[in-house]
Amino acid sequence: MAKVPAAQTRLFKNLFICRNCKSTMRADGRKIILRKVKCRKCGGTVFRTRRKK
């Protein structure tokens, strides 16, 4: 199956998963590294990127 660039951008760009509660949110990668972003659900500051299958 072909990879559509628009779909790849929508699914993976600036998308992070909270390591505590597994909720998803969009944010700038630099803010994630500096831990300026908090999870809406649990208030945690540790995130990971969404994994490509």
Query: Are 47 and 14 in contact, with CB atoms under 8 Å apart?
Result: no
DSSP H or E stretch at residue 29: helix 29-33
Compute the average pLDDT of residues 48-53: 88
- Tokens 């500051």: give the residue: 45
**What global pTM score does this model have?**
0.81
Q: How far apart are CA 27 and CA 36, in angstroms?
A: 10
For the cut 70, the answer to whether the pLDDT of residue 2 exceeds it is: no
Q: Comparing 29 with 53, which gets the higher pLDDT?
A: 29
CATH topology for the 8-49 domain: Rubrerythrin, domain 2 (2.20.28)
| Residues 9-49 pLDDT 10s | 888 999 999 999 999 999 999 999 999 999 999 999 999 99
Q: Strand order in 24-26's β-sheet?
A: 24-26, 15-18, 47-49
For the cut 80, the answer to whether the pLDDT of residue 52 exceeds it is: yes
**Per-residue pLDDT at 3:** 85
